Amino acid sequence: MKQVGEIIREKREEKGLLLRHLAAEIDIDQALLSKIERGERKATKEQIVKFETVFALKKGELMLQYLSENIAYDIIEEKNPIDVLHVAEDKVEYLRKQNKRK
Amino acid sequence: MKQVGEIIREKREEKGLLLRHLAAEIDIDQALLSKIERGERKATKEQIVKFETVFALKKGELMLQYLSENIAYDIIEEKNPIDVLHVAEDKVEYLRKQNKRK
DNA sequence: CATTTAATGGACAAATATAGTCAAATATTC
DNA sequence: GAATATTTGACTATATTTGTCCATTAAATG
């Protein structure tokens, strides 16, 4: 199961880019990119969008990994993380219906 | 589908407590409690634990609602929130296995 | 193996988000 | 309509996140 940072590093190396090249494209410091790739820091949503563009990934593909990874790490230390996700699912479905109605 | 704030308000009223009484027990300003009950502000995890104690709820019961509610609102505006949750579930399961092994 | 180049670590600063308070304005109850 | 309870909004404090700089380490190259 690949982490977002790993995916980014792989893609960067596939393209033969150096940290500083990709960092420049994303418009961040190369040290920060290094940390993101190694999972020491999290990217922002905006940066994930940029990565998708630079790597020509399907829109939302990396974002899906990113969002779910954040959630997973947020709750992994909790009592019943799986239950939390199931209840969250109920709530999302409920909220969507609500929105549809109005 | 009840929101955390609503649950708190119900419980408080069941016990016949005023905002300022419960606020004192939880050790926050009553204005903040008012906002939490109406969903204008979010409680902290620590406060949720206190609410569980004050209301003699099963440990983790309110926390489950709280955590899942936060997640639901975090992703409701995203493209495929349900997919996000499913992938998050995979990741949680993966992380747990990892932990077990070491 | 010495130099150059790339990547990483750590301390700090800036920006943003969250939590909390106070006092005034509203609403509710008697 | 006075007293009590709740809500609102502006503001401050605190915590967290994001980003940069520069020193250090690691890797590659002549």
**Residue A56, burial from CB neighbour count under 10 angstroms (0-12, 13-18, 19+):** exposed
The mean pLDDT value for B6-18 works out to: 97
Q: CATH code at A31?
A: 1.10.260.40
Range of the domain at A68: 4-77
- pLDDT value, residue B87: 98
Distance CA A29, CA A76 (A): 30
Q: Does B61 reach chain A within 8 Å, measured CB to CB?
A: no
Tens of pLDDT along A32-75? 999 999 999 999 999 999 999 999 999 999 999 999 999 999 99
pLDDT category at A98 given cuts 50, 70, 90 is: confident
Structural domains counted in chain A:
1
- pLDDT value, residue A31: 97
Tens of pLDDT along B27-60? 999 999 999 999 999 999 999 999 999 999 999 9
Selected residue of A3, A62, A71 to mutate for chain B interface (largest B Cβ count, 10 A): A71
Q: Does A57 reach chain B within 8 Å, measured CB to CB?
A: no
pLDDT category at B102 given cuts 50, 70, 90 is: low
**Cα A76 to Cα A89, B41, B92, B100, distances in angstroms:** 17, 24, 6, 13
Per-residue pLDDT at B89 exceeds 70: yes
The mean pLDDT value for A72-85 works out to: 96
Give a yes or no: residue A23 inside a domain: yes
pLDDT category at A100 given cuts 50, 70, 90 is: confident
Give a yes or no: residue B50 inside a domain: yes
Tracing tokens 């980014």 back to the chain, one arrives at A8
- Helix axis angle, B45-54 to B61-75, nearest 10°: 140
Q: Answer yes or no: do B79 and A93 touch at CB < 8 A.
A: no
Query: Please, what sign has the CA dihedral across residues B50, B54, B55, B59?
Result: positive
Is the CB of A32 within 7 Å of strand D? yes
Tens of pLDDT along A6-24? 999 999 999 999 999 999 9
The mean pLDDT value for B67-87 works out to: 97
Other Cβ atoms within 10 Å of A2 Cβ, number: 11
